[in-house]
Amino acid sequence: MGAEVVSPSKIDESLISEPYKYGFVTDIETETAPKGLSEETVRYISAKKNEPEWLLQKRLEAYRAWLAMTPPDWAKVSFPPIDYQDAHYYAAPKKKEGPKSLDEVDPELLKTYEKLGIPLREQEILAGVTPSVAVDAVFDSVSVATTYKKVLQEKGVIFCSLSEAIHDHPDLVKKYLGSVVPAHDNFYAALNAAVFTEGSFVYVPKGVRCPMELSTYFRINAANTGQFERTLIIADDGAYVSYLEGCTAPKRDEHQLHAAVVELVAHDRAEIKYATVQNWYPGDENGVGGIYNFVTKRGLCRGVASKISWTQVETGSAITWKYPSCVLQGDGSVGAFYSVAITNNCQQADTGTKMIHLGKNTRSTIISKGISAGRSQATYRGLVKIARTAHGARNKTQCDSLLIGDQCGAHTFPTIEQRDPTARVEHEATTSKVSEEQLFYCQQRGLSAEDAMALIVNGFCREVMQELPMEFAVEAQKLIGLSLEGSVG
């Protein structure tokens, strides 16, 4: 044979010995709101952002509504009550003025994003070749940079931070903000409406196909800080946009709250594809630290034959509470939810979707893949609602759970409310285990146990992974492998 034999598992050690490689902290001076939540805090944030009066009033309304609300208790997750007075609600890297161009962005921040693998420097645009992704980078409470704005502007596409949109496109923001997820929707949405600090704004005008993937990258850096971003995407008649959201946070021993709101509006024949690769710090193997990811995402298919799809790969967070939904109002509109949720160690995920069929001949597809390892708990919770008006509506739901080891749990809670007899709703659910036989088969062909597990799990998730934009599919596959670290053997 001659050649020296090296264990393939050794080669990957560098990757595997560092399961959460985004756990570093950027050393940068930050300006932080005093701890605690009050009307004062809300006013402080609004003033910091130099907001118009109408928005401050909206925030205060939301804050008062929130005071009267209680956190939802129906999810299959458990954690000690959160002390909302013990966190900061605003943190921003110190700077003189908002950066006008990339050259003005703090080099320390540019380095951070480089380390995270997020391209913040625009590549030179060659004749006729459009770059494939534009990025808006949000660091703690502020947007630090948005790339390729010019190229997008030529097409009439607005892609900027929400704060900028509030100043530059107030009519659009006023018209749509809170129109899909109103402040009183739920406890976390109300909290967000009161103290949201940043997010992305997208508007694609009539008949325009957005020429590149749009992407927002959220990073929590400061300690004891909640992140409350708010994203608003509008696709006007016949428009098309594909959007990706990514997120990471440093390793910290305290839990940090992330309560975001995302609103999508699709007009006649418009299509919005929204993908998330969620990799917030999940906590350590004993459940110390990690992000509480309590998020409200909803899309409104307002126009006829409009389409909205949610694709999510959820690998991070200590606790995930998240149900990206579609309200299918326009006749013939189409909603989809494709989800991979992986939990390992002590993670808990309660995630799923709601498909609300209002219009005639509306269609929805749900594919949910839950993978649980370690001592984790993964729950799928779904609602398919067919209103009396939704003649000829169709839904197809497929829920698959995969268990790794015997200390984890997978649960499925599908709810169907059908008011129209002509609608057709199909639901299928399976639960399986990664078999010792499959692992051995792969190992016999030369794969390490970890690589074998990653391959099998990626295979299990295939239908969902193929919905991700090409640019991110490979990353997401690697992420699945990394988040299963320690689950074999």
Partner 1 sequence: MLEIRDLQAGIEGKEILKGLSLSVPCGEVHAIMGPNGAGKSTLSYVLAGRPGYAVSQGSVTLDGKDLLALSPEERAAAGVFLAFQYPVEIAGVTNMNFLKTALNAVRRARGEGELDAMQMLKLLRGKAKDIGMSEDMLKRAVNVGFSGGEKKRNEVLQMAVLEPRLCVLDETDSGLDIDALRVVAEGVNALRSPDRSMLVITHYQRLLDYIKPDRVHVLAAGRIERSGGPELALELEEKGYGEVKKGRLA
Indicate the pairing of strand 261-266 with strand 255-258: unpaired
Should residue 5 be labelled a site residue for partner 1 when binding is judged by CB under 8 A? yes
State which of residues 11, 25, 47, 474 lies at the interface with partner 1 (CB under 8 A). Answer: 11
Residues contacting 64, CB < 8 A, separation 6+: none
Q: Which is nearer to partner 1, 295 or 447 (CB)?
A: 447
Ramachandran angles phi, psi of 45, nearest 5°: -60, -50
Should residue 8 be labelled a site residue for partner 1 when binding is judged by CB under 8 A? yes
Should residue 13 be labelled a site residue for partner 1 when binding is judged by CB under 8 A? no
**Shortest distance in whole angstroms from residue 442 CB to partner 1:** 8
**Shortest distance in whole angstroms from residue 467 CB to partner 1:** 14
Radius of gyration of the chain (CA): 22
**Shortest distance in whole angstroms from residue 1 CB to partner 1:** 5
Q: What is the DSSP string of 399-433?
A: EEEEE-SSS-EEEEEEEEEE--TT-EEEEEEEEEE
Residues contacting 281, CB < 8 A, separation 6+: 20, 22, 23, 248, 249, 250, 251, 252, 289, 290, 291, 316, 317
Kindly identify the residues of this chain, within the stretch 431-470, that bind partner 1 according to CB under 8 A.
435-438, 440-449, 451, 455-456, 458-463
**Shortest distance in whole angstroms from residue 449 CB to partner 1:** 8
Residues contacting 426, CB < 8 A, separation 6+: 395, 396, 397
Stretch that binds partner 1, among 110-118, 359-367, 371-379, 430-438 (CB under 8 A): 430-438
State which of residues 4, 27, 73, 171 lies at the interface with partner 1 (CB under 8 A). Answer: 4
Q: Cβ atoms within 10 A of the Cβ of 24, count?
A: 14
Should residue 126 be labelled a site residue for partner 1 when binding is judged by CB under 8 A? no
Q: Which is nearer to partner 1, 25 or 429 (CB)?
A: 429
Residue 457 contacts residue 476 (beta carbons within 8 Å): no
Q: Which is nearer to partner 1, 123 or 430 (CB)?
A: 430
**Shortest distance in whole angstroms from residue 129 CB to partner 1:** 22
**Shortest distance in whole angstroms from residue 413 CB to partner 1:** 24
| The dihedral formed by the CA atoms of 479, 291, 241 and 232, expressed in degrees to the nearest 10 | 180
Q: Which is nearer to partner 1, 1 or 127 (CB)?
A: 1
Q: Which is nearer to partner 1, 7 or 17 (CB)?
A: 7
Q: What does the alpha-carbon distance between residue 194 and residue 140 come to, in Å, rounded to a whole number?
A: 17
Residue 259 contacts residue 291 (beta carbons within 8 Å): no
Indicate the pairing of strand 200-204 with strand 158-161: antiparallel
Q: Which is nearer to partner 1, 200 or 448 (CB)?
A: 448
Tell me how many residues contact partner 1 (CB under 8 A).
32
Residue 136 contacts residue 145 (beta carbons within 8 Å): yes
Q: Which is nearer to partner 1, 17 or 50 (CB)?
A: 17
Q: Which is nearer to partner 1, 222 or 461 (CB)?
A: 461
Give the binding site for partner 1 (CB under 8 A): 1, 3-9, 11, 435-438, 440-449, 451, 455-456, 458-463
